[in-house]
Structure 1
């Protein structure tokens, strides 16, 4: 198989599990060197052992400004460049707003929104200076319409969508592409609290899909000719009706 990302260096936040892990795997399989960005030693060790040669652990707390500031310098020290930044890490809270916990909302918004802003801000000067680069943000179908059973999560993904497209228009002149992958429900740790029976039924009914399907779409985005930007790529399970 041709290595479509040969010579590229990538960093994936939340890369130790779920969508991030599968995106890292497919990038590696296509020739990239990949830094797995996470703040948990155990998850990092497990992910790097699973992925094998070409994967490097990078312990960063992307919700912490000082920690995030160390991310790019450490990548450049080891690899000399960064071609792909996948701002993937996120969390989920659903349910009625009146039943929710405001502090939990703040934590989710810090990860889903502020950490994305800060991570992209950290890597853009390097990419602009090189005149090339790809930024992909993991959004959600909830970033395209208001989902009534997840109002704060929906708000976080609408913010990400607006940010992605405003930044895309700012940096296009520098040869940097910015786009969003927006999946529907995926079998990841974010659905681990579902009752096992409900999860099994949703998969069998085609209302959920696997992280590898998102990863294949991300690879498609990354391997388009440089004059082509995939602005949004919305993926839905076949029987997910929304």
Structure 2
């Protein structure tokens, strides 16, 4: 099994949830990790905790200029990028009529536009090197028309299409592209869930931990180069609505 020692990974939304769990898992495999997040104070705290193999990158993916500067700024700090994990995202649940145009714009800008722009920025670098891995945090909601969260589900269906299109486009360049599609994960994204729904899910064992998603990501990245894990759907065993 190929290892990740010496690889340089970029993880967005790295200061919490799946991003933080993935950062720790990659560090344990010997990788260096550029942690991307908007929260400068939290990044500084985590750098002190996680050590010298972590490189902080303060980027606000909802700010167009900051988003566009992300990859160039990272390449001023490291000489190449082996892995890009586009993980940052936001959740909007409930009926369409319960949300606002502003919330829809924010979700699409972060869950869709920022992912496409980050991949757009890193692809020329990886094509030049003739190697690389691009992973995106999707969701089971990108595979199933989840009527209780149509805005979120719509954003993840868009990303599912984008990822699988880019996977095919980048095969000739030695770049692997895939996605991880979790069910409900214990993370800040669930802060928008109705309290009663969250309580019921916890009691029913309908949630998984970010570390379990990170383990699957490490599995994807450590396959031989002739193998691409195009998508892993990882669910709580008691999540029975799909």
TM bucket by the smaller chain? over 0.9
| Partner residue, 1:74 | 73
Distance 2:53 2:143 in 1: 35
| Partner residue, 1:222 | 221
Unaligned runs of 5+ in 2: none
Residue aligned with 2:177, SS: strand
Deviations 1:73-130 (A, max 9, x none): 2222222110000000000000011121111111111100000000010111000100
Contact 2:8 2:82 in 1 (8 A): yes
TM-score, reference length from structure 2? 0.94
1:200 offset after TM fit, Å?
5.0
Q: Alpha carbons of 1:49 and 1:205: their partners in 2 closer, same or farther (altered >3 Å)? A: farther
1:234 aligns with 2:221: no
Q: Alpha carbons of 1:204 and 1:82: their partners in 2 closer, same or farther (altered >3 Å)? A: same
1:49 offset after TM fit, Å?
2.8
Report how many residues are paired.
241
RMSD (Å) for aligned C-alpha atoms: 1.7
Distance 1:195 1:163 in 2: 30
| Partner residue, 2:156 | 157
| Partner residue, 1:168 | 167
Distance 1:122 1:83 in 2: 14
1:191 offset after TM fit, Å?
1.2
Residue aligned with 2:34, SS: strand
| Partner residue, 1:62 | 61
TM-score, reference length from structure 1? 0.94
